Amino acid sequence: MILTVDDLTVAYGSVVAVRNLSFGAEEGKILSLLGPNGAGKTTTLMAIMGMIPIASGAVRLQSRSIAGARTEDTVRAGMTLTPEGRQIFASLTVAENLILGEAGLSGRDGGRWTRKEVLRTFPILSERLNQDAGTLSGGEQQQLAIARSLLSNPKVLLLDEPSLGLAPQVVDLIFSLIVQLCEHGITVVLVEQNAMRSLEIAHHSVVLSAGRKVFDGSASALRSSDDLMKAYLAIQPAGRSPETQGG
Ligand SMILES: Nc1ncnc2c1ncn2[C@@H]1O[C@H](COP(=O)(O)OP(=O)(O)OP(=O)(O)O)[C@@H](O)[C@H]1O
């Protein structure tokens, strides 16, 4: 396992959002982290990135303990989060947003994901380099957000709701890009409200409900369990359309 989370508990004051969560992400694979609204998915991603404190538990990236590490050190160690809502700088150009993605990483060994390589993977960004990021479409902004994350050359990329609010054909593009990243050897932890689509590309899945793990197994096993799909992802056996919302 390239990323191991062991007995993680995270609380906001007296509200325990994630309780005794353990899971592992296998190198070069896609892990789909699912669950209804408020299940604790975003909290999990932020806690393992060191963006919010953890109450207890261990997090290891390539066997190295990163629990409690500063986010920038975790990024340097090889794990990056593309947050929900993209959080690009709207009033800066695409090029400036990419430069910020590279900032602070000087001194790190060069990796595959140079700006040139990123622009090759996301060609639309090449055409938009001098445009303010705020003028991009939702799908283009999401590509910019992922591109910026890639510039830190992550071994593990955490993606929080990358398809949120995008038109169906743009969702297709984003999902195919995620598969491409995986083919380049990047381990992806994918939080998605579009549970069915996510399970189509994922190898493994972990399902949370009210902060606790209720499933940990292959994506195909989850897809074929009508009971789990219905109970935790609100997907009826007869209604398994790609548009079904999964939390
Ligand atoms: N900043 C915060 N302060 C207090 N409670 C919070 C905070 N952020 C999240 N929570 C609570 O923690 C729990 C888990 O929230 P989280 O956002 O991690 O869930 P989620 O699975 O990502 O949900 P969603 O699909 O709605 O994004 C929820 O009960 C939520 O209300």
Looking only at the bridges linking them, the beta strands covering 30-34 and 187-191 are parallel
User: 187-202, pLDDT tens digit by residue?
Assistant: 999 999 889 999 999 9
Instruction: Indicate whether 226 belongs to any domain.
Output: yes
Instruction: Indicate whether 117 belongs to any domain.
Output: no
Instruction: Indicate whether 149 belongs to any domain.
Output: no
Instruction: Indicate whether 130 belongs to any domain.
Output: no
Give the pLDDT score at 246: 44
Structural domain harbouring 73: 3-86+155-239
Which portions of the chain are predicted below pLDDT 70? 103-110, 237-247
Ligand 1 mean position to 208 CA, how many Å?
Answer: 12
Q: How many domains does the chain have?
A: 1
Instruction: Indicate whether 61 belongs to any domain.
Output: yes
Pocket-forming residues, ligand 1, beta carbon under 6 Å: 12, 15, 17, 35, 37-43, 247
Q: How far is CA 66 from the centre of its chain?
A: 18
Ligand 1 mean position to 36 CA, how many Å?
Answer: 11
Give the pLDDT score at 12: 96
Instruction: Indicate whether 111 belongs to any domain.
Output: no
Are the CB atoms for 188 and 31 separated by under 8 Å?
yes
Cβ neighbours of residue 45 under 8 Å, at least 6 residues apart?
A: 33, 81, 158, 160, 189, 191
Whose Cα sits closest to atom 7 in ligand 1? Answer: 12
Instruction: Indicate whether 206 belongs to any domain.
Output: yes
Indicate which CATH number applies to the domain containing 54.
3.40.50.300
Instruction: Indicate whether 171 belongs to any domain.
Output: yes
ipTM over 0.85: yes
Give the pLDDT score at 229: 85
Ligand 1 mean position to 99 CA, how many Å?
Answer: 31
